[in-house]
Chain A
Amino acid sequence: MLNYILRRLLYSIPVVAGVMLITFLLFNVLQKPEAAAALNLGAKASAQAKQEWIHNRGLDEPMPVQFVKHLGRLATFQFEPSWRTGRDMREVFAKHAGPSLLITLPGFVCGLIAAVGLALYQVFVRNSLLDRSMTLAAVALMSVPAMVYIIFGQAVIALALNYFPAFGFDMQGLGTARFLVLPVLVMVLVNLGHDARLYRAIFLEEVGQDYVRTALAKGVASTRVLGVHVLKNGLIALITLTVAHLPALVMGSLLIENFFGIPGLGNVLFIAIQTSDQPVVLASVYLGSLLYIAGLILTDLLYALADPRIRLS
C-alpha cells in the first residue's frame, strides 16, 4: 500500500512540473516585465523605479533561470508574495480557504444527498412516466447556464423577496449562515441535473445484477434491496466520480464566489487573473494541481478499501 502511494506520488512530479511550465509560459507571454511594473507602480513611476521593481523580483534574469528558481521555491512551498497587495501567499491561503469550504462543503454534501436520493427514487419507479419526466427535468436543469441561476437567485430571492442577502460575507458565528444559503442553493441546483442523471445510470446498472434478483427472490423488501444492497454497491462506482472533486473544494467555485462576493480562494484567483497578479495565480494553480493529484490517489485508495476484490499494484 505504502509502496503504491509512493510510486503514484513519484509519477505525479512530472505532471506538476508540466503544469508549472505551462502556467509560467502563459504568464510570461501574456505580460512583459515592463508592463507588469507599470501596472503595479502606476503609469507615472520613473524608469528607475520600474527597473528596480523588475530587478527586485528577479524578472530581468533569463527565463530558464527564472523557471528553475520558481520550481525550487515551489518545492519548498516558499511562495513569492502577491505583486498587488504584497501579502504572503501562505497567509492568503490560510485566510481564504475557510470561506471557500463554507460554501463548497455544504454544497457538495447537500448536492450529493439530493442527487443520490433522486437517482435512487428514479430507479425505484424506473421506466414509468414519473421516471421519464424526472429525467427530462434533470436535462432541463442542466441546460440552464449557471449565470441564470445566480442572476435569478439574486434578483428574485434576495432582492425582491429579501429572504437572504444578495451579496457579501461576514464571519459572525451562526449569522454567517445567512450569507451561505443562496450560494449553496445555487451550487446544488447547478450540479443537480447532471449528477442525478449520472447516478441514475450507475444504480440502473446495479439493479440488473444477479445479486439483486437473488435478494428479491429470497423475499427481501424491494425498498431494502434498493436502499441497502444497490446503494452500497453503487457507492463504489460513485466514489471514483466524487472523491476526485473533494480536494478541489478547497479552491472554491470561481463563478459563485465572485457573483456573491464570498472572499474565498476562487475569488482570490479570479481577481488575480483579472489584475495579472502572477505570483497569486502561479501559487493557486500549483496548489490546485497538487490537490487534484491528491484526489486521484485518494480515489484509488478508497476504491480498494470499498471493494476487496481490487488490489493496488
Chain B
Amino acid sequence: MPLASLPLAAAGSGFFTSLNDFLNRWWVQDFIVVFGFGLVFVLLRAGSRNERWQRAWERLKRDRTGLIALAVICLYLAIGGLEALQIPSSGGGRRSVLDLVVGGIPSEKTYSAPLANTLLTEIPPKPLNGRHLLGTDALGKDVFVQTLKACRTALIIGGLTSAIYIPLGALLGIIAGYFRRWADDLIQYIYSTLASIPSILLLVAILMILGKGLGTMSFALGITGWVGLCRLIRGETMRQNERAYVAAARALGQSHWRIVTRHLLPNVMHLVLINFVLGFSGIILSEAILSYLSVGSPVGTPSWGSMIDGGRSELSRDPLIWWNLSAATVALFGLVLSLNLLGDSLRRAFDPKRG
C-alpha cells in the first residue's frame, strides 16, 4: 500500500508525540482502564435509580437471549480488561496480567497448523516447542493467545470512541431539541454537512493527519460517528419537550440547566444506553475496514481487523492457512453478535410495545 510512503505534513507533531508518550506509561494505561470500567459502573448505578430502568431490568431478567449475550460480553470484557492491565516485568519491559495466565506458551519460528507437531513449511520437519490449539501465525505466535489479546484492542477502540461520540451526540442532540431556533439550525447544519462527506474519506484523512494509533483512530471514529445519535436524541428531546412534566418544570421557574440535566437527560438516557451497545459493535466492524485501508491498528498491536486483513493473502498460500483468519472472524463475530442481541433485548425491555 502506498499510504505509508506518503509525505505526511503533520504526522507525529510534537504535541501528539508527547501525549502518546504520556499515555503509553503502564500506570497511566492501568488508570484509564480502571477509570473506564468505574465510569460505566457509576453510570449504570445512577441509571438504576430511574424507574424506567428498573422496569426494563425486570423485563431483561426474563429474556434468556439477552442474558446469554450479556454473559458473553462480560467474558470478553474480562479478557480484554486482563490484557489491558499492565504490570512492569522483571526484564525492564512490561507484560499484561493476561500474559501471566497464558505466559507458559512458547513461540515458534513461523506457521504451524492447529495441534500440529511440526512446523508447516520446514523440510525436514522440525518439532515444535509446544502444542498450539489454533496453530501459530507468520511470526510463530500462538494464534489463540493473539486472538484473546486482540480483545484489548477492540475494547480500547470501542471504549474511547464511545467516550468521545456519546457525550458529543447526546449533548448536541439535547441542545438542538430543547433550545430549537438558531442552536437547532446550527447543529443541524453541522451534522448535515458531516453526513454529506463519505465517511471513509473523512476517517482516512483524519488518520493521515494525526498518524496511526488506537487513540487517533478512536478520535476519528468519534468525530465522524456522533451524527446518528444526535439526530435520535434531538427527535426524542423534542417529543419529551411537549410533555406536561417539562411544562410544569418551566412553570415552576426552574433553570434551563436543571430542566436539561434533571428532567430531559434521564428520560432520553435509555436511548443512549441502547445506542452505546449497538454502536460498540459498529466500531469494532469499522476497525476491520480501516485495517484493510491500512490505517488500522498500529503494527504489533494484535487486532481482529489486522488478522482478517492478513488472512486475505494467507488464503492463497499453499498449504492453505485458514486458522488465523477463522480465529479472528469467530472471535469478532461472537462479540459483535452478542452486542447486537443485547442491544435488541435492551430496546425491547425499554419499549415493550415495539418488541
Contacts and interface: CB of A to CB of B under 8 A. Distances in A.
Interface of A: 14-16, 18-19, 22-23, 26-27, 29-32, 35, 38-39, 136, 139-140, 142-148, 151, 155, 159, 201, 205, 251, 254-255, 269, 273-276, 281, 285, 288-289, 292-293
A201 B204 CA distance: 34
B264 interface: no
Contacts of A31: 6-7, 9
Contact of A292 (B3, B9, B195, B281): B195
Given A274-B1, A274-B2, A255 B289 contact: yes
Which secondary structure dominates where chain A touches chain B?
helix
Contact of A15 (B8, B196, B340): B196
B21 to A, nearest CB: 23
A139 B329 CA distance: 15
Contacts, number: 113
A39 B292 contact: no
A192 to B, nearest CB: 14
A26 B6 contact: no
Interface stretch (B84-92, B114-122, B307-315): B307-315
B205 A148 contact: no
A293 B195 CA distance: 10
Interface stretch (B50-58, B73-81, B331-339): B331-339
B197 A23 contact: yes
Given A19-B193, A285-B197, A39 B340 contact: no
Contacts of A146: 285, 289
A253 to B, nearest CB: 10
B125 interface: no
A15 B198 contact: no
A32 B195 contact: no
B29 to A, nearest CB: 27
Interface of B: 1-3, 6-10, 65, 189, 192-198, 200-202, 204-206, 208-209, 281, 285, 288-289, 292, 305, 308-309, 311-312, 315-316, 325, 329, 332-333, 336-337, 340-341, 344, 354
Given A35-B9, A159-B316, 14 more contacts: A19-B193, A22-B197, A23-B201, A26-B202, A39-B7, A136-B341, A139-B340, A139-B341, A142-B340, A143-B340, A151-B308, A151-B311, A281-B201, A285-B197
Interface centre among A16, A19, A275 (most CB of B within 10 A): A19
B290 to A, nearest CB: 11
A117 B62 CA distance: 31
Contacts of A22: 193-194, 197
Contacts of A269: 198, 201
Given A142-B340, A146-B289, A151-B308, A27 B205 contact: yes
9 contacts: A15-B192, A18-B189, A30-B205, A30-B208, A140-B337, A273-B200, A274-B2, A288-B197, A288-B198
Contacts of A251: 198
B9 A30 contact: yes
A27 B201 CA distance: 11
A201 B354 contact: yes
A16 B189 CA distance: 10
Contacts of B1: 274
A254 B198 contact: yes
A35 B337 contact: no
A251 B153 CA distance: 32
Contacts of B6: 31, 39, 276
A143 B197 contact: no
Contact of A144 (B195, B201, B333): B333
Interface centre among A29, A147, A205, A251 (most CB of B within 10 A): A147
A240 to B, nearest CB: 13
Contacts of B205: 23, 26-27, 30, 273
B76 to A, nearest CB: 13
Nearest to A293: B196
Contacts of B3: 274
A32 B10 CA distance: 10
Contacts of B325: 148, 151
B64 to A, nearest CB: 11
Contacts of B329: 144-145, 148
Interface centre among A143, A201, A275 (most CB of B within 10 A): A143
Contacts of A274: 1-3
A176 B326 CA distance: 32
A144 B208 CA distance: 27
Given A139-B341, A155-B315, A274-B1, A26 B209 contact: yes
Interface centre among B6, B8, B9, B201 (most CB of A within 10 A): B201
